[in-house]
Structures are given as structure tokens and as C-alpha cells.
Amino acid sequence: MLQTSNWSGCIWTASHQVFPLNYRSIRSLPFALFSKRRSTKFMASLSTPTRPPKPIEVAKRLEQFKTTIFTQMSMLAIKHGAINLGQGFPNFDGPQFVKDAAIEAIQDGKNQYARGYGVPDLNSAVTARFKKDTGLDVDPESEVTVTSGCTEAIAATMLGLINPGDEVILFAPFYDSYQATLSMAGAKIKCITLRPPDFSVPIDELKSLISKNTRAILMNTPHNPTGKMFTREELDAIASLCIENDVLVLSDEVYDKLAFEMEHISIASLPGMYERTVTMNSLGKTFSLTGWKIGWAIAPPHLTWGIRQAHSYLTFATSTPMQFAAGAALRAPDSYYDELKRDYMAKKAILVKGLKDVGFTVYPSSGTYFVIVDHTPFGKENDVAFCEYLIKEVGVVAIPTSVFYLNPDDGKNLVRFTFCKDEETLRSAVIRMKDKLKK
Ligand code: GLN
């Protein structure tokens, strides 16, 4: 395991212990701050001076996990006054017509528990959009489950459909909640690494990883953090392996409307796949409302049953007025999506050109609002060391990618930047990097 000897911050935990922070500890401790000082307000709030400290407690199924990298990096952005191109949330607001719909729903008294699997209006809006996007006709009453964000759809799907010991195949780098929710479900994770420059799927490797114990392949297109989009050839190959081996596909498609260089394809739309696919999506990315936490899972009735059983006992139902507003959002005309795409393409162009001018190797990103770069021209020993330098000395936050791999070394040369920020913020970040990042 690689060590970063020159990254010598510390970690302050609820048990009042200070640990040296290094490449290993960022993955193994619950809370990390890259600072020698421990007197911030946040840390004060973690400790109660009048009560003796107790060691932290966590169930075994979660003990290997820590504060998410997104939370850590956003806290550091605030602490160091750095420009946050780390956590993927827009620094601009969502559309007025959706906010108006939420206010109207609240004023109309749509404020009690919603039907557990979604208010009928939203379930219908989800199926109408799915039909438009994929051509598939699905039943809003028996094939859609509305959840608290896609993150809950992922959790409910794992807990509702995966048995302890089942094997689930992931593509690394993978979004952090996949591993944690699979661990909660007791699944056995098998992993395939997608490698730069194009992060293409090594189909032969996938083939050799599938066994009689494989229950599902969990995929994400457009893909966070790489921006890769699964091609039709890759999806066809995955589909035939799944059909041949009776494997489910759990497909996270939250960035489907942020597809810039190629057309997004839902694997559920391929022949023979709908009956074995759970398609998950949400409102947050497409409508710049990441705090609303409205998501959904679309699956045939026999799979929806398991998802709904888990959902019923995880959250039961999600926010009623926001569901009505989500219904209004999903009925947006095509022009809304066209404009969204145009705006994001302009942002992407600013960041990509800026990063290239600064001297990074920038890997092509076809979708999402993320771009991956190789930081090694700047001489830092790994992604974590580079990100620490970038925050403290340059004033910009990026996400180290090693946390998205089972083997962190696979991500040590790569960091992720997001361009879901206003153009001025993106330009300022580029200027800071041009001024202060030296090869
Ligand atoms: N999806 C967001 C990202 O990848 C982060 C969401 C979160 O903070 N959990 O940046």
C-alpha cells in the first residue's frame, strides 16, 4: 500500500483521538480533516466537553466505511476558502417552474404521507418520460417506485433483491454508495476496472467473472466519475451475458440527460432486457435540485415487489409536495433539456480547455458533469496528495478517485473535477490553477 509521507494532516474523531492522515487512513477512518488544528466549530460540535468521550460504535457491515469523500472535500472547501469543483452539486438554482410547483403543492395542502410507492401523478410522469426516452411502455402502478433520491433507489434495490452471499459485479471506479449498500445487503462484490483513456468495458474479463453465484451487474451510464458512456456494443455484450447466465442488471442512469458526445441508451430497452433490469434515476441532476432527493426505480412487477418491500421499511414514502413538483418537472418540454445541454456544454468547454492549458492530461468525458484528469505532470505521489496540495496551495477542490476502487492504487493518478458551477466560478478556478500549479 502506498503511503504519503508528505501529507501529514491529522484526523480528529469523536473519540478525541488524533490520527496521522495518510493515503491509507483516508479510507479507513470515519472522519478526516486535513489540518493540524482541531479547533474548528465543526470539530467542537463533535465533542461535548462536559461528558467523557466514548469510542465510536458502528455495526460490522459498515465499519470499513468512512465519511463520504464528497462531504470531506466540501468541508475542506469551506475551511480553506477553496473553489469547490469537487462534490457534484450545482452552485446555481433549479428552474422557477419546478419551484413554483412545489410551493403550490404545499399551499394546496399536499402535505401528508404520500402513497408509499409514489403519488400517482409522479408515477405517471416517470412512465411517460421513460416511454419517450426508451420506447418502453411500463405500468406506473406496478413498475415504478418513487424513492428519496436515486441513492435510496439503489439501497432499496440491493436490500430488496440481493441475498447475503450473492455476487454482484461492479465497474470501478464506482460511486461510493454502491459498495456500502452492497455491504449492508451482505453481497459479495466482484469488480472490473475500467481504464483510461476510454474506460471501455473489458468484455472478456466480464465474461470470466460471471459465475453461477452472480446475481447482478451494477452499472452506471453516463458514468460517474469518468464521464464514460456505455456504447451500444458494450451494452449488447453485457445484455447477452446477462440473458445467457440469468443475471440482473441494476442500472443507475441519473446523468441520462447530460449526454453530450453520444446518445444515452438504457440497457432496459435492449431485446430481452427489460424483464431483468432495474433502471434508476432521479430529479436532482437534470433539474439542478440535488437537495430535493426525489428518485425512482423502474422494474418489471416481479422485481418491483422486492424493491418496494425494502423501500416500505426504509423510508415508507418520500416528500409529498416535492413529488408533485417532480411530476411537473418531468413534463418539461424538450426545449428545457436542449437548453440544459447547451449550458452544460459551454461549462464543459471552459473547464476542459482550462485544465488542458494548465497542463493536465484530460480524458474524454461523453456525459455527466464530471471530467477525469491525470495529475501526474505536477509531480505529486498520488491523487490524495495532489488534492491536498490543490486545496491548500491553489485554492481549488477536486475529488481524489482512489476511493472509488477496491484497489486504491488503480486511481492514484486520477482526480475528478466537476463543471456544474457557473461559468465565472469555472474561470476563476482555472485562473488559480494557471497561476499556482507548476510542473
Ligand atoms: N453525486 C455527487 C457526486 O458524485 C455527490 C453526492 C453525495 O455527496 N453523496 O459528486
Determine the distance separating the centroid of ligand 1 and the alpha carbon of 150, expressed in angstroms: 11
Nearest ligand 1 atom to the CA of 254 is 1
SS (H, E, C) 22-75: CCCHHHHCCCCEEECCCCCHHHHHHCCCCCCCCCCCCCHHHCCCCCCHHHHHHH
Domain spanning 96-331, CATH architecture:
3-Layer(aba) Sandwich (3.40)
* Residues 6/12/18/23 CA torsion (nearest 10 deg): -30
Q: Give the burial string for 75-106 (b: 16+ CB within 10 Å, else e).
A: bbbebbebbbbbbbbbeeebbeebbebbeebe
Domain range annotation of the chain: 60-93+335-436, 96-331
d(CA 61, CA 109): 40
Nearest ligand 1 atom to the CA of 88 is 10
Q: Are strands 414-418 and 399-400 parallel, antiparallel or unpaired?
A: antiparallel
Q: To test the ligand 1 pocket, which listed residue (67, 70, 401, 417) has its Cβ within 8 A of the most ligand atoms?
A: 70
Q: Whose CA is nearest to atom 3 of ligand 1?
A: 88
3-state secondary structure of 2: coil
Residue 58 cell numbers, joined: 458502528
What confidence score (pLDDT) does residue 66 get?
84
d(CA 217, CA 167): 9
Q: State which amino acid sits at residue 331.
A: R
What confidence score (pLDDT) does residue 106 get?
98
- Is the CB of 68 inside a 6 Å radius of any atom of ligand 1? yes
What confidence score (pLDDT) does residue 19 get?
31
Nearest ligand 1 atom to the CA of 71 is 8
What confidence score (pLDDT) does residue 355 get?
98
What confidence score (pLDDT) does residue 1 get?
30
Nearest ligand 1 atom to the CA of 225 is 4
CB 2 within 8 A of CB 412: yes
d(CA 163, CA 132): 34
- Is the CB of 87 inside a 6 Å radius of any atom of ligand 1? yes
User: Domain 60-93+335-436 class?
Assistant: alpha beta
- Is the CB of 305 inside a 6 Å radius of any atom of ligand 1? no
What is the DSSP track for 199-265?
TB--HHHHHHH--TTEEEEEEESSPTTT-----HHHHHHHHHHHHHHT-EEEEE-TTTT-B-SS---
CA 147 vs. chain centroid, Å, equals 16
pLDDT digits (tens, 9 = 90+) for 33-71: 444 343 344 444 445 567 888 988 999 999 989 889 999
What confidence score (pLDDT) does residue 29 get?
39
With a cut of 70, which residues of the chain have pLDDT below it?
1-49
**Same topology for domains 60-93+335-436 and 96-331, yes or no?**
no
pLDDT digits (tens, 9 = 90+) for 109-163: 999 999 999 999 999 999 999 999 999 999 999 999 999 999 999 999 999 999 9
d(CA 383, CA 401): 7
Closest listed residue to residue 421, CA positions, set 356, 334, 347: 347
CB 317 within 8 A of CB 147: no
- Is the CB of 382 inside a 6 Å radius of any atom of ligand 1? no
Q: State which amino acid sits at residue 117.
A: Y
Q: To test the ligand 1 pocket, which listed residue (73, 89, 255, 370) has its Cβ within 8 A of the most ligand atoms?
A: 89
What does pTM read for this prediction?
Answer: 0.89
What confidence score (pLDDT) does residue 50 get?
75
Determine the distance separating the centroid of ligand 1 and the alpha carbon of 88, expressed in angstroms: 5
What backbone phi and psi angles, to 5 degrees, belong to 130?
-60, -40
